[in-house]
Amino acid sequence: MSYDLIVIGGGPAGYVGAIRAAQLGKRIACVEKERAGGTCLNWGCIPTKALLKSAELYQLMNHAEEYGLKADKITFDFEKVVQRSRGVSDKMAKGVEFLFKNKKVDYFVGSGQVGKDKKVKVTGADGKTQVLETKNILIATGCVPRQLPGLKVDGDKVVTSREALVLKKQPKSVIVLGAGAIGIEFAYFFNAFGSKVTVVEMLPSILPLEDGEVSELVARSFTKSGMEILTDTKVEKTEVSSTGVKVSTSGKETKTLEAEMLLVAIGVQANLEGVLADGLKLDLEKGYIKTNDRYESSVPGIFAAGDIIGPPWLAHVASHEAIEAVEGIFVPGKKPHKVTVFPACTYCHPQVASIGITEKKAQEQKLKFKVGKVPYRASGKAVAAGEAEGFVKVIIGEPHGEILGAHIVGSDATELIAELGLAMTLEATVDEIHATIHAHPTLSEMVAEAALASHGQAIHI
């Protein structure tokens, strides 16, 4: 009895790839060490969104008077906030387990190890092993948080995003090291509930991959809400004591910071520990599996998708890659699509979402382009909702009017970016976006207005 495909890893690449393959009528197994849904569902995207929802609502309640409402003694129970987040992850993980059953994916809980002979050894938590046979393998083992060399993650004073999701109590003060999406979301979360937050980022701006104006607006908003933001600043030394951590920095801001907790959010690294049996060698690059146009590794029949093949380390990119890889294996004539355009989101408040290139990148690439920008305060919906902070910015190619990039900061940015994603897939032009009637009053009207603004034809600015 042999499988058509065994997927190693049950995250957004693994479970999605496994289900898609099962839909194609193939015999599929998915091996997951911990819990269906992987990091995304259990330790990343999903539980953080639950935490952030509590934080946003707490902040909104503290501004209730602006909406004609009132409440006495607005409080939060940190343990319950965390419990709710765990409950959401648990529910969604159960959902994936149900999908496996429903879609006829054999689900193995254990560590999967790929042998030289393409057999997969599964070792359960109890140490028992079984060996599965298969025609193809998809490695989708993802990444784990990078740690600071020489600094032990103790889950109390020093944490990564994973431990930060299951804290027993709220830290009074937090140093967030790294201002990418993960660091920024936690910074917002802790600050919203009243922790004193300091963000330390080595690069010149927070959210360094985002458009400069977006990063600036978020930094301003964060500073206004009481956070300390240190950019161009490096960690020189860390020291853990009985009461917390001391971090000495160099660069633009040379100081010694002290806090109850240090959150290390300096990125991720490939997770291949124990995945490849002795004697099985795949070509790697910086620890990531090298793949060809068909997501196939250097060993025929062993494929890889998701974070384990390298950046951008995004769940939706991982799922897309896995589907493409699987269809490439099983659908005759299918030429898998390699990802070039994808949205990126940060769920702090104001939200950030983007797709395509930034204005700076467009300049560096010496492209001919125009910029259209519309502030949220020009949107009736935004003002009515009390969400007038932010803007929609689009980078429009010349002379054809296609979208090179879009950058949104503000309420619901992460939903608004979807239309621009479709626009880029379809190579839509400014004219076509303008020809689309956007519902009034919605925030999405700003997308059309920003496109028009690039040609000086916006109505509302």
Comparison of 151 and 376: residue with beta carbon closer to a copy of itself: 376
Evaluate whether 304 touches 154 at the Cβ level (below 8 Å). no
> Least Å distance between CB 17 and a copy of itself?
10
Name the residue among 416, 442, 447 with its Cα closest to residue 432: 447
Question: Which is nearer to a copy of itself, 197 or 433 (by Cβ)?
Answer: 433
Examine the residue annotation and report whether 400 is marked as an active-site residue of this protein: no
Q: Least distance (Å) from a copy of itself to the CB of residue 79?
A: 8
Pick from 125, 134, 108, 120: which is nearest to 280 by CA? 120
Contact 230/198 with Cβ under 8 angstroms? yes
Kindly give, in sequence order, each residue whose CB lies less than 8 Å from that of residue 327, ignoring residues fewer than 6 positions away.
20, 24, 334, 336
Using the minimum distance from each CB to a copy of itself, give the nearer residue, 61 or 148: 61
User: CB of residue 85 vs a copy of itself: minimum separation in angstroms?
Assistant: 8
Residue with Cβ nearer a copy of itself (153 or 461):
461
Q: How far is the CB of 188 from a copy of itself (least distance, A)?
A: 15
Catalytic-labelled residue, pool 434, 438, 440, 455 = 440
CB of 143 to a copy of itself, least distance (A): 15
Of the pair 191, 238, the CB lying nearest a copy of itself is at 191
The tokens describing 195, both together, are 């922790």
Q: Distance between CA 246 and CA 104 in Å, rounded?
A: 52
Rounded Cα distance, 266 and 228, in Å: 18
- Residue 192 beta carbon to a copy of itself: minimum distance, rounded to whole angstroms: 11
**Residue with smaller CB distance to a copy of itself, 69 or 367:** 69
Sheet holding 196-200, edge to edge: 158-159, 261-264, 173-177, 196-200, 228-230
Task: Output the 3-class SS for 115-180.
Answer: CCCCCEEEECCCCCEEEEEEEEEEECCCEEECCCCCCCCCCCCEECHHHHCCCCCCCCEEEEECCC
DSSP string spanning 225-243?
TT-EEE-SEEEEEEEE-SS
Closest to a copy of itself by CB, 68 vs 300, is 68
Q: Shortest CA distance to 140 belongs to which of 278, 48, 33, 1? A: 33
Measured N-to-C along each axis, helices 181-192 and 212-224 cross at an angle, to the nearest 10 degrees, of 20
Range 197-200, long-range pairs (CB < 8 A, 24+ positions): 197/173, 197/226, 197/227, 197/228, 198/173, 198/174, 198/227, 198/228, 198/229, 198/230, 198/257, 198/259, 199/227, 199/228, 199/229, 199/230, 200/175, 200/176, 200/230, 200/233, 200/235, 200/247, 200/249, 200/257
Q: Which residue numbers are catalytic? A: 440
